[in-house]
Structure 1
Amino acid sequence: MWPDFLQGQPEQPVRVLLVDDDPHIRRVIAQNLTADLRVSLQAQASTVREARRLISRHAFDVMLVDLELPDGTGFQLIEQMKAEHPNAEAVVVSSFEDEARAMQAFEMGATGYLVKSSWFGSFAQAVLQVVNGGAAITPNLARRLLHRFEGRVQAPPARALRQGESASRSCERLSEREREILQLVSVGFTSPEIGQRLQVSVQTVNTHIKNIYRKLHVRTRAQAVSLALQRHWMI
């Protein structure tokens, strides 16, 4: 059962652009996407050049993108996508389980990072997660990122600001509930799932998330998670 209040309905499927230079991987992902009526595969590309043209010509909601392409990187495409389609979501599909690459992708606005060799979920489900406010992250990578959160629980508030950082980039301290929600967001829970776990309404969860954005001066969930990790603002 798929609730009718979530994005991705058979009559209005989520539109996807797929970019990967490996024809076998591309075929596997395409078959997975087209098997789900809630998702519509709009176009495919195998190079940066092809993808740039498709980004400019197509309307889409999610881009699944490999980072290593014959004529460039997926980072270039994420940058272009955010400039031309600011409301679209980017999910990296990579051969490398690399925290640094994942963090760079999140900083650029990606909301997912799937490792080809260890991803055992549905690509269609990952697409549906990100368009509904969640994050799609390969489980073992998500666990490592969560451990980084836990290791910084006792970070002193004074570290929230670096010496010489401008006042405009300062942030308010997150409340205990906001930190709890940010941790759940970081491992891929959607707003409805968070509401169910915390026994609060979806509207309440989204209000907390908006407050987190305001306090951290960010615009996306991925940016909030990345900033909290980098600057030790989590708890």
Structure 2
Amino acid sequence: MYYSDQSKGPYSDAARAKVTSTAPGYAWPSDMKGQLNEPVRVFLADEDRHIRSVISQELMRDPRTIVVGQASSYKEARKAILAEEFDVLLIDLSLSEGQGAALLEQVQLKMPAVLSIAISSSEEHDAVMDAFKKGVAGYLLKNSWFGSYLKAVLEVANGGAAISPIVAKKILPRIFIKSSQTENSLELKKFEKLTEREKDVLRMIAEGKRTHEIGVYLDISAVTVSTHVKNIYRKMQVRTRAEAVRYAVMKGII
């Protein structure tokens, strides 16, 4: 089952306006993705009907996100995804006995602007790292992120990354251990010097702060934060926040 446009979703425009006007504490910077007239569009692919129900209900309750399509199998997802336009893909990589991973690669090849978040029951290091190698921007455990899919989608849509805390606690120490083991045998990369503001942003990334939180703390827009992050990546020659933090620690920046 999937919706071909917003008007076919659970909420009409009038209904979504009502949700917006009554949503407690609703306030969202105008320079961030997820505006009332242009919510972040999400496609959800998972075989578990209960999981799909939990996620879709959470996303549709907030006017900043909308579920434009759902699929319960690889075959159904492959057909529907190519017929839809969306911003974020939430996908179980074990879909149809592992074909979800193949589908993810197809999406990245044919729809490079789409950002993907893996949803999984596995918190094993190899599974997590393989997902990130395939290009996901987030990794969420099914049993620990109920109630936080909304935050994950908005974070990823606005240039950040989302990862379940349990998984982060497992993989980050191993990343640092691996770094320390290779530090003596490999010459550290030489990169362009970071500005003081970029260092501030990097320190907050290391503390686990999200893009919006960094912006609020530094009194700058989320777009500006994202620009600083991109500059940090470029200067340090890295592709992820974890890599940036790792090299910053090794270089004594933070």
Please give the alpha-carbon distance, in whole angstroms, between the structure 2 residues aligned to 1:233 and 1:47: 40
Q: CA 1:148/1:127 → structure 2, altered by over 3 Å: closer, same or farther?
A: same
Q: CA 1:96/1:119 → structure 2, altered by over 3 Å: closer, same or farther?
A: same
Task: Tell me which amino acid in the other structure corresponds to 1:113.
Answer: Y
Residue 71 of structure 1: CA displacement? 4.9
Q: Which residue of 1 aligns with 2:5?
A: none
Q: Which residue of 2 aligns with 1:165?
A: none
Query: TM-score normalised to the size of structure 2?
Result: 0.73
Please give the alpha-carbon distance, in whole angstroms, between the structure 2 residues aligned to 1:143 and 1:211: 26
Q: Which residue of 2 aligns with 1:156?
A: 183
Task: Tell me which amino acid in the other structure corresponds to 1:156.
Answer: E
Q: CA 1:174/1:205 → structure 2, altered by over 3 Å: closer, same or farther?
A: farther
Q: Which residue of 2 aligns with 1:125?
A: 151
Query: TM-score normalised to the size of structure 1?
Result: 0.78
Q: CA 1:72/1:145 → structure 2, altered by over 3 Å: closer, same or farther?
A: closer
Larger Rg: 2
Q: Which residue of 1 aligns with 2:12?
A: none
Task: Give CA-to-partner distance per residue, 1:64-113, whole Å, 9 cap, x none.
Answer: 00011225432212211111211111011111112222211112221111
1:49–1:71 Cα contact (<8 Å) kept: no
Q: Which residue of 2 aligns with 1:224?
A: 240
Task: Tell me which amino acid in the other structure corresponds to 1:194.
Answer: I
> Which of 95, 109, 123 pairs up with 2:135?
109
Q: CA 1:205/1:33 → structure 2, altered by over 3 Å: closer, same or farther?
A: closer
Q: How does 1:126-205 map to 2 (within 5 A)?
A: 126-151=152-177, 152=179, 156=183, 159-160=186-187, 172=191, 175=194, 181=201, 184-185=204-205, 189-197=209-217, 199=218, 201-202=220-221, 205=225
Q: CA RMSD in A?
A: 3.1
Greater relative contact order (CA < 8 Å, ≥ 6 in sequence): 1
Select between 103-112 and 208-217 the one with higher mean Cα deviation: 208-217
Tell whether 2:39 aligns with 1:23. Answer: no
Q: Which residue of 2 aligns with 1:68?
A: 94
Residue 209 of structure 1: CA displacement? 1.9
Tell whether 2:230 aligns with 1:210. Answer: yes
Residue 3 of structure 1: CA displacement? 1.6
Identity, % of aligned pairs? 41
Uncovered stretches (5+) of structure 2, i.e. residues with no partner: 1-26
Please give the alpha-carbon distance, in whole angstroms, between the structure 2 residues aligned to 1:58 and 1:131: 17
Uncovered stretches (5+) of structure 1, i.e. residues with no partner: 162-169
Q: CA 1:186/1:99 → structure 2, altered by over 3 Å: closer, same or farther?
A: farther
Select between 185-194 and 97-106 the one with higher mean Cα deviation: 185-194
1:143–1:187 Cα contact (<8 Å) kept: no
Please give the alpha-carbon distance, in whole angstroms, between the structure 2 residues aligned to 1:57 and 1:125: 26
Please give the alpha-carbon distance, in whole angstroms, between the structure 1 residues aligned to 2:74 and 2:208: 28
Please give the alpha-carbon distance, in whole angstroms, between the structure 2 residues aligned to 1:128 and 1:104: 23
Aligned length: 220
Please give the alpha-carbon distance, in whole angstroms, between the structure 1 residues aligned to 2:224 and 2:43: 32
Please give the alpha-carbon distance, in whole angstroms, between the structure 1 residues aligned to 2:129 and 2:201: 19
